[in-house]
Amino acid sequence: MNIANLSHYEQAIFVLSALVLYTSFSMLAQSRLFNLINIFAWQGTLLGITAALVAFISNQPHLYISALLTLVLKAWLIPWMLRKQVMRLKLQREIETLATPTLTSLAGVGLVIFSYYIALPIKSLSNSITRNTISESLAIVLLAMLLIITRRQAVSQVVGFMAIENGLFFAALVSTYGMPMIVELGIAFDVLVAAVLFGVFFFEMRSSIDSLDVDQMNRLHEVDKR
């Protein structure tokens, strides 16, 4: 399949999926919490537009609903909630020190190549136009996991968790043109509930260990007091 033989709409899907992958990389490199949440919102926006485009070229009207759901939830509501929590925790000026940013991005490139290799057999089974992006969606999931591994800040880890969900949604979108509507709605509300619960969890964590650095949870609070 040569990209030059596809229509411009289909080419636009590839461009958008590449941009989604790029947002994953810029999340890896971003050390400011606010910017991280903004990039996450951009990833949601791009995913929503991609879903609408896939709905358009594949004639699957139910995908418009998931596109709208993605735009509302992941591009607006969840980033807004996260931003509000960051403001209330007074973390908006916090800069996380990334130990080895270059090494992390190179590890990310390694993950992209790995997921390409893994997705090759899946690709050969599918004959949808978007089959080439399956490996990208897998890469987005793995990059989000890498984000969680490299961060110690609880809020960034939650952003990474949400980005995993973005990758899974993307995988479902491009491999089988979306999950059944009921599953998709269920996941969307699960993610929303998770965002609310994480907000409560941030405050709990803050009040018990006085920090959002998850490394401090390795120590036992009572033992250190003595």
Compute CA 16 distance to the chain's CA centroid, rounded to the nearest angstrom: 14
Task: Give yes or no for residue 23 binding other proteins (CB under 8 A).
Answer: no
| DSSP 8-state assignment for residue 179 | -
Question: Segment near other proteins (CB under 8 A), from 57-65, 97-105, 151-159, 217-225?
Answer: 97-105
> What is the number of other CB atoms lying within 10 angstroms of the CB of residue 218?
6
Planar angle of CA 130, 120, 74, nearest 5 degrees:
45
Number of residues binding to other proteins, judged by CB under 8 A: 29
Task: Give yes or no for residue 4 binding other proteins (CB under 8 A).
Answer: yes
CA distances from 91 to 83, 170, 213 (A): 10, 30, 12
Show the site string, 44-83: x = touches other proteins by CB under 8 A, - = not: ----------------------------------------
Task: Give yes or no for residue 29 binding other proteins (CB under 8 A).
Answer: yes
Q: Binding other proteins by CB under 8 A: which of 40, 69, 136, 159?
A: 136
Q: Binding other proteins by CB under 8 A: which of 30, 45, 50, 133?
A: 133
Task: Give yes or no for residue 148 binding other proteins (CB under 8 A).
Answer: no
Question: Segment near other proteins (CB under 8 A), from 79-87, 100-108, 153-161, 218-226?
Answer: 100-108
Task: Give yes or no for residue 209 binding other proteins (CB under 8 A).
Answer: no
CA distances from 13 to 3, 32, 83, 140, 199 (A): 11, 29, 29, 16, 34
Q: Which is nearer to other proteins, 68 or 106 (CB)?
A: 106
Give the CB-side neighbour count of residue 10, counting CA atoms within 13 A.
15
Task: Give yes or no for residue 132 binding other proteins (CB under 8 A).
Answer: yes
CA torsion 101-145-215-30 (nearest 10°) is 40
User: 95: which strand partners?
Assistant: 32
Question: Segment near other proteins (CB under 8 A), from 63-71, 128-136, 165-173, 204-212?
Answer: 128-136
Burial (CB < 10 A; 0-12, 13-18, 19+), residue 85, is: buried
Question: Segment near other proteins (CB under 8 A), from 17-25, 46-54, 145-153, 199-207?
Answer: 17-25
Burial (CB < 10 A; 0-12, 13-18, 19+), residue 34, is: middle
> What is the number of other CB atoms lying within 10 angstroms of the CB of residue 144?
25
CB of 52 vs other proteins, minimal distance in Å:
16
Q: Which is nearer to other proteins, 49 or 212 (CB)?
A: 49
Contact footprint for other proteins (CB under 8 A): 1-4, 8, 11-12, 14-15, 17-19, 21-22, 25, 29, 101-102, 105-106, 109, 112-113, 116, 123, 132-133, 135-136
